[in-house]
Amino acid sequence: MTTLQHHRALVVSAVWTLLLLFLGSIVHATGSSLACPDWPTCYGSMIPTMEGGIFWEHLHRLVAGGLVLMWILTGWLVRKERAPARVMRGWVAGLVLLLVQSVLGGVTVLLQLPPAVSTAHLTLAFLFLGLAVTLAVETSTHRTDSTDLSPSLRAALLRWGTAASVLVLTQSMLGGLVRHLDAGMACPDLPLCLGQLVPPLGQPAVALNFLHRVTALVTGIVVIATALTVLHGPARGSLRRLAWSAISFLFLQIALGVASVASQLAVTPVSLHTLGAASLFVATAALAAWGGLPAPRSGAEPAPAGVA
């Protein structure tokens, strides 16, 4: 089967979003979030001098603008290649998310980084990423690998994949709050917190950091359960690779979390920690999307990519 161009564009959009999340983390970790104190310009210019913090902040804005253009191109390809109506609806939802995300980015700067708005900005980025990944799975030629899945395995994969995705998203939101409220070193030791299994929770920063860790533990258990649902079943090909990817990203993310604390929030491990969370979200969202694919009709030919 031929891979259609709008599927490729959806994959590029998802990868582009990963890059954007990584750059956003670098912007915060380097203290460059207000290097451009105005919006949409930077010191009144659309082409500022790209040096110091301005380089990272304005590069982040340029890449964000490029994602909007990429998504518009994706929509043109979706329409040109006559993708199913649900794919077009998904594209429209993505466009709305991007527009709201752009406005939130400006509000974040103009209000000088309020934690709630900054965390909402991060959350919308993850939601858009999940949408792009789901649409990419729906339009992939590899979805024929799902023909071996029984209805019970599909249901289990959808249930566990969705639970894992929601938990990774929740954990990422908590991580955003930890970052924006400067609570990253409230628990300076690992695996304990302030030398205790359960630290004093009277201090908001300590309570938030500890909640982030506890949620990470629950998330890890659910991600592994989701992956084992696939690996212990008859799934093959892309689906099995996704399951192994989810496990790999999980343990990489744990290592990066440890490195972030051990290095006292050095730029490299902290930024890669955000990228790791986004990559794990991609894997779990893709697994959930596989579980949600329509079961093939008995004796029917597999539908080509992009066709309902």
**Chain-centre distance for alpha carbon 2:** 28
* pLDDT tens profile 69-91: 999 999 999 999 999 999 999 99
24: three-class secondary structure by DSSP = helix
232: three-class secondary structure by DSSP = coil
263 is written with which tokens?
């290095």
User: Which pLDDT belongs to residue 126?
Assistant: 97
Could you list the beta-strand ranges (E) of the chain: none
User: Which pLDDT belongs to residue 296?
Assistant: 55
Strand-pairing partners, residue 45, are 42
User: Which pLDDT belongs to residue 4?
Assistant: 86
Residues in contact with 119: Cβ distance below 8 Å, sequence separation at least 6, in sequence order: 173, 176, 177, 180
Predicted TM-score of the model (pTM): 0.91
Residues in contact with 182: Cβ distance below 8 Å, sequence separation at least 6, in sequence order: 205
Which residues of the chain carry a pLDDT beneath 50? 298-308
φ, ψ dihedrals at 44, nearest 5°: 80, 5
In the chain the first and final C-alpha atoms are separated, in Å, by 14
CA-CA distance, 73 to 94, in Å (whole number)?
A: 13
**Chain-centre distance for alpha carbon 39:** 25
Cis before residue 188, ω within 30 degrees of 0? Answer: no
